[in-house]
Amino acid sequence: MTTFDPHHEQASRRLAHPSEPFGKFSSIGKRYDLGGGESLTAIEDVSLNLEKGKLISLLGPSGCGKTTFLRIVAGLESATSGTVEIEGNLISGPHPDFAFVFQQPNLMPWRTVLRNVLFPLEVRGEMNQSGRERALDLLDLVGLAGFESRYPSELSGGMQQRVALCRALVHDAKLLLMDEPFGALDELKRMEMHDLLLSIRERTNVSVLFVTHSISEAIYLSDTVAVFSTRPSTICETIEVTLPYPRQNQMRYGQQFNGYELAASRALGIVR
Ligand SMILES: Nc1ncnc2c1ncn2[C@@H]1O[C@H](COP(=O)(O)OP(=O)(O)OP(=O)(O)O)[C@@H](O)[C@H]1O
Ligand SMILES: [Mg+2]
């Protein structure tokens, strides 16, 4: 096994052994030191494999450690125990091939909408006409055409979150980490975003970890739903969703979908 150097291009291109998963998260634990000898164990022994191009949802109650887990995978937080491997490389810090959509939009208030979306391309030195066109296309797709020159403070929370989504999708990330990205959107927009995410995933083969509270959102989007227990959390059940792609809205009302909802509700302890 090699230690991952995020600034070393060769390292980021190194391929995992064909039988290895794209992402391998092994026995991850996180204990927060609260000071005064107190500590809080947020997650305990979480293991998960993410195959290339697959989407796994992390479903669980508030406070169980979903954001903590995602931040560890992103290299933004260190684990107390366990390892994160992407393509066979140990991850110990942020990586330019990862994209993150946080629970809050975290836009730069001094930049216009378009310049916020273009930021990852600037950082990567990939600013060109096609990148600009992609940014404008994405803004159009999420219903923000005409808002390119506005500033974040002039947008609603849901609109800001859609800008953050465009920013994550503007470059071809290998790993997309999404933390309740559609929580601030109305039902209709959220369903449109589901189809947009799935079509982008199909086109780019990006691998996705998607945190949500919503059982139906998890099922509609996922190849696998990983259900987290209450804190200190582990994965108490994984549900393989075999609904065909492309997913279609009428599937949400079908018997098979309903069966998955029941299985997830049971795993969460909502129904017996
Ligand atoms: N920096 C921190 N210091 C101390 N405790 C923390 C810190 N960050 C998170 N926690 C604690 O860890 C636990 C898990 O938090 P986390 O934000 O990962 O939960 P979550 O599953 O994402 O919740 P939600 O669904 O409400 O977003 C919580 O009890 C929280 O109080
Ligand atoms: Mg969270």
Residue 268: give the domain boundaries.
21-97+173-272
Domain-located, residue 183: yes
- Residuewise pLDDT in 10s, the chain (272 residues): 333 333 343 333 344 455 679 999 999 999 999 999 999 999 999 999 999 999 999 999 999 999 999 999 999 999 999 999 999 999 888 888 899 998 889 999 999 999 999 999 998 888 999 999 999 999 998 889 999 999 999 999 889 989 999 999 998 899 999 999 998 888 988 998 899 899 888 888 999 999 999 999 999 999 999 999 999 889 999 999 999 999 999 999 999 999 999 999 999 999 88
Instruction: Output the domain CATH number for residue 35.
Output: 3.40.50.300
Q: Which of 154, 171, 188 is the last residue of a domain?
A: 171
**187/89 same-domain check:** yes
Residue 159 CA to ligand 2 center (angstroms) comes to 20
Q: Give the C-alpha separation, 66 to 99, whole Å.
A: 17
Confidence at residue 5, expressed as pLDDT on a 0 to 100 scale: 36
Q: Are residues 46 and 93 in the same domain?
A: yes
12 found inside a domain: no
Closest ligand, as measured to the CA of 178:
2
Instruction: Give yes or no for a contact between 221 and 55, defined as CB atoms under 8 angstroms apart.
Output: yes
If asked whether residues 230 and 160 sit together in one domain, one would say no
Is residue 7 one of the residues assigned to a domain? Answer: no
Q: Is 42's C-beta closer than 6 angstroms to any atom of ligand 1?
A: yes
- Please report which ligand is nearest the Cα atom of 42: 1
Contacts of the segment 172-175: beta carbons below 8 A, 24+ positions apart: 172/204, 172/206, 173/97, 173/98, 173/99, 173/206, 174/22, 174/86, 174/97, 174/98, 174/206, 174/207, 175/22, 175/23, 175/73, 175/86, 175/95, 175/97, 175/98, 175/99, 175/206, 175/207, 175/208, 175/209
Which residues, 6+ apart, have CB-to-CB distance to 23 below 8 Å? Answer: 48, 49, 50, 73, 84, 85, 86, 175, 207, 209
* Least distant ligand from the CA of 102: 2
Q: Is the CB of 233 under 6 A from ligand 1?
A: no
* Of the residues 129, 148, 171, the one at which a domain ends: 171
Instruction: Give dist(CA 95, CA 188) in Å, integer.
Output: 33
Number of domain units in the chain: 2
- Asked if 200 and 230 sit in the same domain, the reply is yes
Evaluate whether 220 touches 251 at the Cβ level (below 8 Å). yes
Q: Is the CB of 68 under 6 A from ligand 1?
A: yes
Q: Which atom of ligand 1 is nearest to the CA of 180?
A: 27
User: Which of 73, 100, 4, 50 lies closest to 238 in space, CA to CA?
Assistant: 50
75 in the same domain as 178: yes
Q: Is 153 in the pocket of ligand 1 (CB under 6 A)?
A: no
Please compute, for residue 161, the number of CA atoms within 13 A of its CA located in the half-sphere on the CB side.
18
Residues 31 and 76 occupy one common structural domain: yes
Tell me, yes or no, whether 260 lies in a domain.
Answer: yes
Residue nearest to atom 12 of ligand 1 (CA): 42
Residue 162 lies in a domain: yes
The single-letter DSSP state of residue 9 is: H
Output the pLDDT for position 18: 57
Domain membership flag for residue 8: no
Choose the final residue of a domain: 134, 153, 171: 171
Q: Are residues 115 and 239 in the same domain?
A: no
* Same-domain check for residues 149 and 240: no
Handedness of CA 175, 104, 247, 223 (dihedral sign): positive
Task: Choose one of 33, 44, 59, 67 to mutate for the ligand 1 pocket test, by most ligand atoms within 8 angstroms of C-beta.
Answer: 67
Residues 165 and 200 in one domain: no
Q: Is 16 within a domain?
A: no
11 in a structural domain = no
Q: What are 44's two structure tokens?
A: 């305990």
Which has the closest alpha carbon to 97: 212, 207, 236, 243? Answer: 207
**Based on the domain organization, do 162 and 177 belong to the same domain?**
no
* Alpha helix positions (H), the chain: 9-13, 66-73, 113-123, 129-141, 157-169, 187-204, 215-221, 255-268
Q: How many CB atoms lie within 10 A of CB 169?
A: 26
Q: Is 245 helix (H, G, I), strand (E, B) or coil?
A: coil
CA of 154 to the centre of ligand 2 (A): 26
Residues 199 and 270 in one domain: yes
Token pair, residue 91, equals 């991850």
- Is the same domain home to 139 and 200? no
